[in-house]
A and B are shown apart, each in its own frame.
Chain A
Amino acid sequence: MRRGRHPAWEFVIEWAIRMAGFLAIVFVLLIFAFLLRDSLPIFRLRSLGQLVVGRIWSPTAEPPQFGFLPLLLGSFYVTLGALVIAVPLGLACAIFIAEVAPARIREILKPTVELLSAVPSVVFGFIGLLLIGPWLATRLHLPIGQFAALGSLLLAFMAIPTIVSVSEDALRAVPRVLRDNSLALGATQWQTICRVTVPAARSGIIAGVLLGFGRAIGETMTVLMVTGNAAVIPRGLLGFLRPVRTMTATIAAEMGETAYHTPHYFALFAIGLLLFLITFLVTVAADLVMRRSAWARR
């Protein structure tokens, strides 16, 4: 049997498909490369220490100050505050959907959570800025309706769908036989959930929390609109009730008016690079966590 004659274009199409497969890798590398390219110059002007732990962010001052610390802390305050709300709520909701909820409730709840993740961040920011912020400010006697905790609250609702969906998958993946064994030994359903199912799904849940963290720290418009945009270092718990600035909000607010290839421009790109690295680490960590569990189950 001799080699058949396939049309040459079939070869071309399959080649194009193979190229397309690698697009994601290509673009991740490209993004990294461009971020690096347009942030390297700032490292020549300032040392890494001056940037990362510099305490003042004031690019328009004379001389310009490019300390990231207020922005880093602002992001972490808002994000960790969001996780404090989102992790218990999201995990509880995931357990509810996977283990307790009757089918009809599940059919309503799951799409609702999906819709929740689809609400544009600018809409959350809008409601926070115009409604929730002022209302909370009068209740809590704050001078202004924009502060870190408001950002945390809104970000929590954006991180919850991620945590719910990944955790629910992990809970569902726990083999039935484990649950059945626990129940057969006389445990209640709740005891089974606490002692058997959730520990078995531990890695998936951790991965979900990591990805939720990544989602929260990368949010831009909501925090831009509701956290007040004051680049000050937040202090203690009271810092939650004061305005802060996140890394993302800084880029969004300042890039528009920054001239091309000025130190300010490079500094903003450096913040972008930092954000990229953070989410990259989060993604890799989540992947490692999931991989280790799959290995352990073998």
Chain B
Amino acid sequence: MNAVQGEASQLIVRPQGSIKFETQRLNMFYGAFQALTDVSVAIPERHITALIGPSGCGKSSFLRCLDRMNDVIQGVRIEGKVLLEEDDIYAAGTDVVQLRKRVGMVFQTPNPFPMSIYDNVAYGPRLHGAPDRTGLDQIVESSLRQAALWDEVKDKLRQSALDLSGGQQQRLCIARVLAVEPEVVLMDEPCTALDPTATFRIEELMLELRQRYTIVIVTHNMYQASRVSQYTGFFLLGELIEFGLTARIFESPQDRRTDDYVRGRFG
């Protein structure tokens, strides 16, 4: 279980099958502070990949690199490459708007817009040039069905989204993302603000969604990671310590620090 320098490659396993995202020596800086150091990893397509690690280890920062949401923060600098199926998303001339259409994000705190449920889900399609009314209705219904929310809201689509419960709001945010027909869904601790029942429903939802979408989820809840994901990556202090099949990471991790974390010895 000792990590040997030369065997670092064993710690970061490259998944078989098609790869959706690949980062090559990704470094990220908030001003002078280095948040990510030399992260090189491949995220498999149509699987759920979980990113775990203690607070402040950089997993959320890494996630936000994948859809360039870090651009919104002042003073952020990126070095290295992030490839979405062969294209470096940080290359000059990249259309960030298109990127964010292909790579959707669900945030930690549900953040429905102060509008009706229908308008929330229709927001994305309308941004990119909405089809006519019937087409929009179909998109809204299909997205809400995929998010397992349709039956609960189909009679109150015109009501304010802020009237929904926390768990419903989060599923609404998921439906909102699905409405733009992304290829990847990023989830940044989506269940932290929710009660156990709501959490359970969202985890079920993730397992259904992974048949169509690539999902990357950041979570500090290891039970969740082991229940839901096929691959897991462990971050510590801005470095990706270990990456591989979830079963292996949790049952027989190669690196001592991973072992300490998954056994709850720190973090």
Residues of A in contact with B (beta carbons under 8 Å apart): 1-4, 6
Contact = CB atoms under 8 A, between A and B. Distances in A.
Interface in B71-121: 84, 87, 89, 93-95, 97-99
A225 B99 CA distance: 66
Nearest to B88: A1
Contacts of B98: 1, 4
| Residue among A1, A4, A6 with max Cβ neighbours from chain B (10 Å) | A1
A195 to B, nearest CB: 37
Q: Which 8 A-B pairs have the closest CB atoms?
A: A4-B95, A4-B98, A4-B97, A1-B95, A3-B95, A1-B94, A1-B87, A3-B93
A1 B84 CA distance: 10
Given A2-B95, A3-B95, 11 more contacts: A1-B87, A1-B89, A1-B94, A1-B95, A1-B98, A1-B99, A2-B93, A3-B93, A4-B97, A4-B98, A6-B97
A4 B89 CA distance: 13
Interface size class of B (residues with CB under 8 A): under 10
8 contacts: A1-B84, A1-B87, A1-B89, A1-B94, A1-B95, A2-B93, A3-B94, A4-B95
Nearest to A6: B97
A1 B86 CA distance: 10
Contacts of A1: 84, 87, 89, 94-95, 98-99
A4 B102 CA distance: 13
Contacts of A4: 95, 97-98
Contacts of B87: 1
Interface of B: 84, 87, 89, 93-95, 97-99
A4 B101 CA distance: 12
A1 B89 CA distance: 8
A3 B98 CA distance: 9
A6 B95 CA distance: 10
B251 to A, nearest CB: 39
Nearest to A4: B95
Contacts of B95: 1-4
B90 to A, nearest CB: 11
A3 B93 CA distance: 6
A1 B183 CA distance: 14
A99 to B, nearest CB: 35
A3 B99 CA distance: 10
Contacts of A2: 93, 95
A2 B96 CA distance: 10
Contacts of B99: 1
Nearest to B97: A4
A2 B93 CA distance: 7
B87 to A, nearest CB: 5
B101 to A, nearest CB: 9
A298 to B, nearest CB: 15
Nearest to A2: B95
Contacts of B97: 4, 6
Contacts of A3: 93-95
A1 B100 CA distance: 12
A131 B99 CA distance: 71
A2 B87 CA distance: 10
Nearest to B92: A3
Contacts of B84: 1
| Residue among B84, B89, B93, B95 with max Cβ neighbours from chain A (10 Å) | B95
A1 B97 CA distance: 10
Nearest to B93: A3
Contacts of A6: 97
A3 B94 CA distance: 6
A3 B91 CA distance: 11
Contacts of B89: 1
B99 to A, nearest CB: 6
B82 to A, nearest CB: 12
A13 to B, nearest CB: 16
A171 B94 CA distance: 48
B50 to A, nearest CB: 27
A8 B146 CA distance: 35
A221 B97 CA distance: 55
A6 B128 CA distance: 10
Contacts of B94: 1, 3
A10 to B, nearest CB: 11
B184 to A, nearest CB: 14
B126 to A, nearest CB: 14
A101 to B, nearest CB: 34
A3 B87 CA distance: 13
B103 to A, nearest CB: 11
Contacts of B93: 2-3
B92 to A, nearest CB: 10
A2 B95 CA distance: 6
A4 B99 CA distance: 10
A6 B94 CA distance: 13
B115 to A, nearest CB: 22
A6 B99 CA distance: 14
A286 to B, nearest CB: 27
A129 B7 CA distance: 92
A6 B87 CA distance: 21
A1 B98 CA distance: 8
